[in-house]
Structure formats: C-alpha cells, structure tokens
C-alpha cells in the first residue's frame, strides 16, 4: 500500500472516531485552511535586517543566541529561505516584516525617511508568492535608541525622530495592505525602560501616549492597515521599568481603539496569555498574538506543541472571534537550522489550531453549565489520545507538503546545497 493510501486510511478511521463525539473533521480542516499565520522574517537572520551590510541585532533588550551556520545575509537569501520554509508548511500564510528589512538598493536610508518604495520589492515578492504581509516599525538597533529610550525619550528631538518613523511605517503598512488585498497589521513595540528603579514612572508613559497619538493621527482605511501595540514586562538593560507595560497598552488600546498585541514571553513566568485572551477581547477591537516560548525569561525559543500553545489555540477558537484575531509568531533561535526553526514553529502553531478545532466545544460547554465537572474533565483527558496525528497527516497530504518528519529531509538537503555554501 502506498504511503498516501495509508494516510488516507488512517484518516478515515480517525474521522469516524471524532464523529462519534460529534466532531466533523472535514469542517475542522476547512476552517484550519482559512486561518493564516504570520511568519516573522527575523528568524531567518537573527533580527539583523538589511539597513546596513553586516548589520547585527543590538540594543532593544532582545537577544538572539547561537551561531549556527548559514544565516541569510541578503534579501535574496532571506526570501529563498522563507520560500523553502513555506513549501514545507501546510496552508496559506503571511509574512511579518520589520522596517529594518527594507530594500534600500545599497544606499543607507534612515528610519525617519523610509517610504513604501523601499518595500516595493517585498510587496511584489509577497504577491508572487500569494502572501499577505504584516509590518513592524523598528525601534531598536539604532544610535537614537542606544540609551534605551525612543518614543518615551525625555528629549523632544529624539521622540520626534521616532514619531516620524512610526508615521512612515503606517503608510508603508497601508501600501502593503492595499496592494496585497488584505489589511497589514502594523505592530508597535518599543524597548523603552530603565535598568534601575526610576523616580518618575509617569513621565515616560505620558510622553509615550502623546507620541503614539501623534503616530496614529493620520486616518488610514482599516481595509488596508490596522494598528497594534505590544507591551513588555522587562528587557535586558530595562529590568526595573518599561514605559510600555501591559497596563499601559491595555488602557491605550482600549481608549484609542487599537489592536492589542499579546506576546507569550512578555509577562511574569506563571502568567499565561491564554488566560488573557477572553478578557481583553471584550474591550479592544482586536488582538495580535506574538506566539513565542519563554524559557525562564523572554527567551524567544522556537514554539513547541506544549500545553500553553494548545491552550492559546483553544482560547482563540473557543472565542468565536477569529475574525478579530491575528496570529503571528515571534522567536529567534540562532543555535539550530533557521529554516527548520520556522517550519517547526509554524507547523506547531497550525497543529495547535487543528487540535482546538477538533474539540467538541459545545458538549464540553453543556457539561460545564450543568455543573458536571467530572464529565468535563474526563472528556478533556480522553480527547488527548484521539488520533489527532492522522488528521494532521491527512491535512499535510492534501496541502501537498511533506507528511511527518519527511520535511526535515528537505531542510537537510537545502542546508547541504545552499546554506552550507554561505561563508
């Protein structure tokens, strides 16, 4: 029997098993195919970008560690790596680009002067590859961010420089969304904060709110562009205070009607974003997720299929508001093959969504409402050993991407033929 026959046969059995619980696997697969995941460009080159030749991530309290060979050094190399990764991931997805990945034709263009034309080649490439795009201003790795403050800086000139950057990025995002036919989420994250205990916690936050209001002054059609703001608890060198804390942005997003970005690594270690989704969705117009894996701190490890990832996906699906939720990944591991890192993280996010879509949510809800917590717990545990893998394999087969670990062979071949030849 051929391998694909085996996959089909296993799927038919799985389908029957799920049907017994009232779960329609065909419907789940259809819904899964309609959920894009925004793949972050920065896993491909350790958050380096193409602003200057040989640029390295520096500042901003984010830290890629490892020196696995073969990282993308040029825009063409990064695009080739992304294409390779996407060819191994089922579904139609998006590319999440940082402003520092601009195509400046080899001539330095500062952050306050970037324009849609510096991203036209990315837009064309995205279009050719059937990808939507999301965007991020880059408020780090820059001399004007070197002392740890940007939009909340005490110096007006520095604030204004970064306000201009934000304004420019929204226009770029809008152009991407317009040309690609689906709104670009432009996500603002700034590293601003103090290493040691500040006297004035209010001032930087007032300056930040004022600067953001200036960044967001221009009305942009939400069919082209949506704004998101991302909080953070701490950063390296900003351990004691961040201007853009969770409470700050929750208030800001609620009062200004912006999307709130929840990054899984930006909270206290026992605080889970899965628990926050239902609450914040009640008050903000939409959510952006930065799905990441914090190991002891905001370490940005590759996303694995763990309990929290499953819980995040459950909350997204159970919310019934996927139309207001944008899923993006945020990690950067330089210690393993970077293309594999993408594939592992993306496939895991999709798997978690599928697991959630295969849940008999209505039955579980009825048990809960009836106070039958015994049945709720029993069924949740039984679900864990249903033949989910057979449904996932079938999804990969139908999407024409490798089933099971076979994708790794493709990555190894790419490493041998392409990545290992990079100096």
Positions in the binding site for ligand RNT (CB under 6 A)? 42, 47, 62, 98, 136, 189, 230, 232, 263, 290, 298, 330
Task: Please count the other Cβ atoms lying within 10 Å of the Cβ belonging to residue 269.
Answer: 12
Q: In the numeric block, which tokens belong to residue 234?
A: 């701490």
> Is 393 among the catalytic positions?
no
Q: Taking CB within 5 to 8 Å according to partner kind, which of Zn ion, ligand RNT, none is near residue 114?
A: none
Whole-angstrom distance, CA of residue 346 vs CA of residue 349: 5
Least Å distance between CB 189 and ligand RNT? Answer: 4
Cβ nearer to Zn ion, comparing 10 with 236: 236
Q: Taking CB within 5 to 8 Å according to partner kind, which of Zn ion, ligand RNT, none is near residue 348?
A: none
Q: Which residues contact 82 (CB under 8 A, 6 or more apart)?
A: 39, 41, 44, 95, 342
Contact 123, 159 (CB under 8 A): no
Least Å distance between CB 416 and Zn ion? Answer: 32
Whole-angstrom distance, CA of residue 299 vs CA of residue 113: 32
Cβ nearer to ligand RNT, comparing 178 with 266: 266
> Is 77 among the catalytic positions?
no
> Is 134 among the catalytic positions?
no
Cβ nearer to ligand RNT, comparing 140 with 392: 140
> Is 266 among the catalytic positions?
yes
Cβ nearer to ligand RNT, comparing 236 with 379: 236
Cβ nearer to ligand RNT, comparing 142 with 290: 290
Q: Which residues contact 348 (CB under 8 A, 6 or more apart)?
A: 303, 304, 305, 309
Q: Which has the closest alpha carbon to 345: 334, 335, 330, 325?
A: 330
Q: Where do we find the tokens 């820059």?
A: 142
Q: In the numeric block, which tokens belong to residue 194?
A: 């103090």
Residue 330 makes contact with Zn ion by CB under 5 A: yes
Q: Where do we find the tokens 């500042």?
A: 59
Q: Kindly name the residue from 46, 175, 298, 415 that is annotated as catalytic.
A: 298
Cβ nearer to ligand RNT, comparing 315 with 330: 330
Q: Kindly name the residue from 225, 263, 359, 393 that is annotated as catalytic.
A: 263
Q: Where do we find the tokens 């059609």?
A: 221
Residue 134 makes contact with Zn ion by CB under 5 A: no
Least Å distance between CB 69 and ligand RNT? Answer: 22
Least Å distance between CB 370 and ligand RNT? Answer: 41
Least Å distance between CB 331 and ligand RNT? Answer: 8
Least Å distance between CB 44 and Zn ion? Answer: 16
**What three-state secondary structure class fits 388?**
helix
- CB-side exposure of 312: number of CA atoms within 13 Å? 31
> Is 300 among the catalytic positions?
yes
Q: Taking CB within 5 to 8 Å according to partner kind, which of ligand RNT, Zn ion, none is near residue 347?
A: none
Whole-angstrom distance, CA of residue 359 vs CA of residue 353: 10
Task: Please count the other Cβ atoms lying within 10 Å of the Cβ belonging to residue 386.
Answer: 17
**What three-state secondary structure class fits 167?**
helix
Q: Taking CB within 5 to 8 Å according to partner kind, which of ligand RNT, Zn ion, none is near residue 42?
A: ligand RNT
Q: Which has the closest alpha carbon to 250: 220, 222, 282, 215?
A: 282
DSSP conformation class of 137: -
Q: Kindly name the residue from 230, 359, 393, 415 that is annotated as catalytic.
A: 230
Least Å distance between CB 266 and ligand RNT? Answer: 6
> Is 232 among the catalytic positions?
yes
> Is 103 among the catalytic positions?
no
Buried b (16+ CB within 10 A) or exposed e, 312-325: bbbbbbebeeeeeb
Cβ nearer to ligand RNT, comparing 42 with 149: 42
Residue nearest to ligand RNT (CB): 189
Contact positions with Zn ion (CB under 5 A) in 245-264: 263
> Is 210 among the catalytic positions?
no
Contact 132, 182 (CB under 8 A): yes
Binder among 153, 207, 290, 293 for Zn ion (CB under 5 A): 290
DSSP letters, 168-185, are: HHHHHHHHHHHHHTSPEE
> Is 93 among the catalytic positions?
no
Q: Kindly name the residue from 40, 71, 165, 232 that is annotated as catalytic.
A: 232
- Interacting residues toward Zn ion by CB under 5 A: 263, 290, 330
Residues annotated catalytic, as ranges:
189, 230, 232, 263, 266, 290, 298, 300, 330
């Amino acid at each position: 029997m051929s391998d694909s026959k085996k996959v089909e046969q296993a799927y038919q059995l799985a389908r029957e098993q799920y049907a017994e619980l009232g779960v329609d696997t065909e419907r789940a697969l259809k819904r899964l195919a309609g959920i894009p995941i925004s793949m972050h460009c920065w896993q491909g080159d350790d958050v380096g970008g193409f602003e200057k030749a040989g640029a390295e991530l520096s500042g901003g309290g984010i830290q890629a560690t490892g020196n696995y060979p073969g990282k993308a050094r040029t825009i063409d190399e990064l695009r080739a790596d992304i294409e390779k990764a996407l060819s191994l991931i089922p579904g139609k997805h998006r590319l999440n680009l940082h402003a520092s990945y601009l195509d400046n034709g080899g001539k330095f263009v500062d952050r306050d002067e970037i324009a849609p034309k510096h991203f036209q080649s990315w837009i064309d490439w995205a279009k050719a590859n059937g990808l939507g795009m999301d965007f991020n201003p880059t408020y780090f790795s820059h001399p004007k961010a070197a002392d740890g403050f940007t939009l909340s800086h005490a110096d007006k000139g520095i604030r204004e420089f970064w306000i201009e950057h934000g304004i420019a990025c929204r226009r770029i995002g809008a152009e991407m969304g317009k040309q690609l036919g689906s709104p670009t989420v432009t996500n603002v994250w700034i590293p601003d904060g103090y290493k040691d205990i500040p006297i004035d916690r209010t001032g930087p936050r007032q300056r930040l709110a004022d600067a953001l209001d200036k960044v967001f002054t221009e009305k942009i059609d939400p069919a082209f562009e949506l704004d998101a703001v991302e909080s953070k608890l701490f950063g390296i060198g900003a351990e004691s205070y961040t201007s853009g804390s969770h409470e700050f942005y929750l208030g800001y997003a609620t009062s200004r009607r912006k999307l709130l970005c929840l990054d899984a690594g930006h909270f206290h270690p026992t605080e889970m974003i899965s628990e926050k989704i239902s609450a914040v969705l009640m008050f903000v117009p939409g959510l952006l997720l930065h799905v990441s894996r914090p190991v002891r701190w905001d370490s940005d490890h590759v996303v694995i299929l763990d309990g929290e990832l499953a819980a995040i996906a459950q909350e997204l699906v159970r919310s019934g508001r996927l139309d207001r939720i944008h899923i993006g990944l945020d990690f950067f591991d330089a210690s393993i093959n970077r293309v594999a890192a993408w594939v592992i993280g993306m496939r895991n996010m999709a798997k978690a969504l599928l697991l959630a879509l295969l849940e008999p949510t209505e039955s579980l809800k009825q048990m809960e409402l009836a106070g039958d917590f015994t049945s709720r717990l029993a069924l949740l545990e039984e679900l864990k050993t249903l033949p989910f893998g057979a449904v996932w394999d079938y999804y990969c087969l139908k999407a024409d991407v490798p089933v099971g670990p076979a994708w790794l062979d493709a990555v190894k071949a790419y490493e041998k033929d392409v990545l290992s030849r990079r100096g």
